[in-house]
A and B are shown apart, each in its own frame.
Chain A
Amino acid sequence: MARLMIEVDGLRVRFGKVDAVRSVSLSVEKGSSFGLVGESGSGKSTVLRVLAGLNPNWSGHLHIAGEEQKPQRAKDFFRRVQMVFQDPYGSLHPHQTIDRTLSEPLVVHGFDGIDTRVRKALEEVSLPAAARFRYPHQLSGGQRQRVAIARALISEPEVLLLDEPTSALDVSVQAEVLNLLSDLRSARSLTYVMVGHNLAVVTHLCSRIAVMQSGEIVETVSAEDLRVGNLTHPHTTDLHTFGVELEELMQTGNSPTGRPGQIASRKN
């Protein structure tokens, strides 16, 4: 039990009359990284927001770090569990300098040596010291996402929740941010839960991946199985072939099998 960082049992989330998430159960070991993949609207981000404590309307059982979590979280929970949002253009306060943004969690949790911690955090995500007193709009998308990662890590959490952290970024910057995330994980032995719709990105970072479809987990596979295509559920296979074909499409401009015909025809 102590080896499990996150345990979700029978999680159910309703938005009005719609079941966004129905009976999701998953467990994440300490120090490992877990991916949640699915189409838009499959409920993957909703699960993540429940884990983060941003969505109080859920039922089921949730244990994080061995403690049962209620919809209302204790203050210390927010020190130990942090989140990186999808859109770095929307997740940083537009009227606060990077320095303010980074010191905010430290002030709230009563850390000392705020000045050196902020300096170190910027260094860790390889941002120049000159960025410290800038405003978010003066930074590029990749730099902003680094700030968001630095903010999430500055309170020294054990769990990092990643909501498609690279999907709003340029392809060339995506790899940088992903490498940064995987370096940080091994350096700090963090537990990751990552949500994404791009299988290539999720397999790059996660060792175990759950595939979601209309509010349910349909299959949980290892990154290895996914890479070689050792899959059982048809939806997973669909996502997989779609991802492969999309990649080839981007390289050649042609769909090799022509199976996701919509995409091929849209190109023509």
Chain B
Amino acid sequence: MSTYPVTADSPAPLRSWLLTDSPDSRRQAAWGGAYRRWLQFRRNRLAMTGFVTVVLLILAALAAPLLATHAPGAQDLARRLEPPSTAHWLGTDELGRDLYSRLLYGGRVTLGMVVSVVLLVAPIGLAVGTVAGYAGGLADRILMRITDVFLAFPRLVLALAFVAALRPGVTSAVIAIALTAWPPFALLARAETLAIRKTDYIAAARLTGASPARIVLRHIAPLCLSSLIVRVALDMSGIIMTAAGLGFLGMGAQSPMPEWGTMIATTRGYILDQWWVPTIPGIAILVASLAFNLLGDGLRDVLDPKQE
């Protein structure tokens, strides 16, 4: 226990209750485990940086109406493409709209899209991969051939086809990106499952009489989760870029709606003369991607109990 620095802000009785070697109840053990993980996570500076940045970005996006200085769609054609000033903190875009306000509102759209894609994709990939890996045989073959079909198309082309078939917009873009993004997760989860299914602890789980569904859900899926989280974190930047690509082709977020990728796409012609206009949303994408990556790395370490 001496490895954890004692800080003044955590009262001693609660700390010792959380960090005790012999918890009295499951609840205490669970809280203690969570607290230990938090302490471990906190020691990882890079992960903490990522975590704080992600939290700040999400808070900024949620509080956009409070933080914004202008309406995100308000045009002022007399003051287009202005550099940063006191009136427009980050300058204005090609229609004289305030970039700072659009960046805040754009965060809602972009981060919202990324989060919804991940929430759709990770469970689907995990489910397909673990079921295919554990069941083997015919189920494995069918599920993997379906995965291959989705993998065979270039991501953006497939997403384009889906959005074109549906109606252009944020929701369609999310569905299209989700449809194209899940196969790598399924392959990853399947590979992990194949390694895990032969182990003695899974044999022991089968000997408890547990159903295959229970074994996959309670014994195999948690072990695939850590590598999946890292992969998701690495993929987030790719998802942002795909969303931007769709937006650029008019298939994603529609014109007045601020979205980081679309903001770059529509102003990319000004990169030489008014470089800050496309650069500022670019920096936002970079920061968000980096923060998600750092957070994912830190989470992987925390999710493995052996890392304590």
Contact = CB atoms under 8 A, between A and B. Distances in A.
Identify the 10 closest CB pairs spanning chains A and B, nearest first.
Answer: A78-B209, A133-B29, A130-B22, A91-B200, A105-B208, A90-B200, A75-B209, A93-B201, A85-B200, A135-B305
A92 B23 CA distance: 21
Contacts of A94: 201, 223, 305-306
Contact of B207 (A78, A92, A133): A78
B204 A130 contact: no
A199 B97 CA distance: 86
Contacts of B203: 54, 85, 91
A255 interface: no
Interface size class of B (residues with CB under 8 A): 20 to 34
Contacts of B205: 93, 104
Given A99-B26, A135-B306, A90 B201 contact: yes
A108 B206 contact: no
A210 interface: no
Given A91-B200, A130-B21, A97 B29 contact: yes
A135 B37 CA distance: 14
Interface string A97-120: 101000011001100000100000
Nearest to B202: A93
Interface string A154-165: 010000000000
Given A130-B22, A133-B29, A155 B306 contact: no
A204 interface: no
B306 A91 contact: no
A17 interface: no
B214 interface: yes
A79 interface: yes
Interface in B11-51: 21-23, 26, 29, 32-33
A53 interface: yes
Interface of A: 52-54, 75-79, 82-83, 85-87, 90-97, 99, 104-105, 108-109, 115, 128-130, 132-133, 135, 137, 148, 151, 155
A242 to B, nearest CB: 28
* Most interface-central of B21, B206, B305 (chain A CB within 10 A): B305
B71 interface: no
Contacts of A148: 204
B88 interface: no
* Most interface-central of A86, A93, A105, A130 (chain B CB within 10 A): A93
A10 B46 CA distance: 63
Nearest to B306: A137
Contact of A109 (B209, B218, B306): B209
A93 B29 contact: no
Nearest to B219: A93
Contacts of A132: 22-23, 29
A106 B99 CA distance: 60
Contacts of B33: 97, 133
Contact of A99 (B29, B207, B208, B209): B29
B136 interface: no
Given A85-B203, A85-B204, A97-B29, A104 B306 contact: no
B199 interface: yes
Contact of B199 (A90, A99, A130): A90
Given A87-B200, A137-B305, A54 B208 contact: no
